[in-house]
Structure 1
Amino acid sequence: MRRYAKPIVVADDLNLLRGRTTGVITLPRHLDWSGAADYDLDSPGRIVDLYRTVLIEATKPDDLHSFLDRTVLERLWPSIWLPPELRRAWEQGFPELRRTVSEAPAA
């Protein structure tokens, strides 16, 4: 079994997740070095990409607090692909994120 090699960063508190929810965001290079770091939050596919990227690449809780929004995270959570260890760490810290896809509102 392959282990998740990156340090796992989890928000200090879901209420601190107060990132923007509309418009275009450009992630800093330490979060997205792909050359496609602009994310249109009004595009359903791009907002999922942004959340997945920030969750996986965050190096400190401030990265999460700055770019994620609690309400959006809770809505998207069931549909975001994440490494199992990362998903488990978030769900252990925030049990309210644990819900089945059938319980989740449509993204």
Structure 2
Amino acid sequence: MDSFGLGHQHAVESDAPTPSRWSPSADQLPSSLTVLTGPTHGPVDLPLHLAWSGLRTFDLDDDKLLLGMYRIVLTTGLRDDYIQFLDGNLLTSHWPRLRKMVGRDVRKAWEGTFPQLRLYTGWAAA
């Protein structure tokens, strides 16, 4: 008998990484950056499930606002949100700055699925 009492079974440890609740799972990411065909300029209104506090309208012609909107979508969105609000070319060109804004788990998920994003960061190591 162990210190936990009769019938207690120890959890089996696994080498598999535990998914983070702060990063998208692989099945939530788009199949390709080319399917990201969101708006590329002008004002964009995010729905409440993405922008539930603060600014909801973002002018994509202003880099600060574009980066802010992309950060929100990347950190709180799901596949349909990525497709609707992100543009693959804008994401790629702004990735060096965005990757610093989204947090390690989100960054690793996107760069792990789309290694070409790492080419724009100045490093290509996994």
How high is the TM-score relative to the length of structure 1? 0.84
Query: CA offset at residue 6 of structure 1?
Result: 3.0
Q: Is the 8 A contact 1:27 1:38 kept in 2?
A: yes
After the TM superposition, list the runs of 4 or more consecutive aligned residues in structure 1 that deviate by more than 6 angstroms: none
CA distance in structure 1 between the aligned counterparts of 2:49 and 2:97, rounded to whole angstroms:
24
Q: Secondary structure in 1 aligned to 2:105?
A: helix
**Aligned ranges 1:66-77 → 2 under 5 Å:** 66-77=84-95
Query: Partner amino acid for 2:85?
Result: F
Aligned counterpart in structure 2 of residue 19 of structure 1, from 29, 35, 38 = 38
- Aligned residue pair count: 100
Q: Secondary structure in 2 aligned to 1:98?
A: helix
CA distance in structure 2 between the aligned counterparts of 1:11 and 1:39, rounded to whole angstroms:
23
Q: Secondary structure in 1 aligned to 2:119?
A: coil
Q: Secondary structure in 2 aligned to 1:99?
A: helix
Query: Partner amino acid for 2:22?
Result: K
Larger radius of gyration: 2
**Aligned ranges 1:27-106 → 2 under 5 Å:** 27-58=46-77, 60-80=78-98, 81-99=101-119, 101-102=121-122
Give the superposed CA RMSD.
Answer: 1.9
Unaligned runs of 5+ in 2: 1-18
Q: Is the 8 A contact 2:42 2:59 kept in 1?
A: yes
Query: CA offset at residue 13 of structure 1?
Result: 1.5
Percent of aligned positions with the same letter in both sequences?
35
Q: Which has the higher contact order (CA 8 A, sep 6+)?
A: 1
Query: Partner amino acid for 1:93?
Result: T
Q: Secondary structure in 2 aligned to 1:25?
A: strand
Query: CA offset at residue 12 of structure 1?
Result: 2.3
CA distance in structure 1 between the aligned counterparts of 2:80 and 2:31, rounded to whole angstroms:
9
Q: Secondary structure in 1 aligned to 2:58?
A: strand
How high is the TM-score relative to the length of structure 2? 0.72
Unaligned runs of 5+ in 1: none
Query: Partner amino acid for 1:77?
Result: W
CA distance in structure 2 between the aligned counterparts of 1:21 and 1:87, rounded to whole angstroms:
22
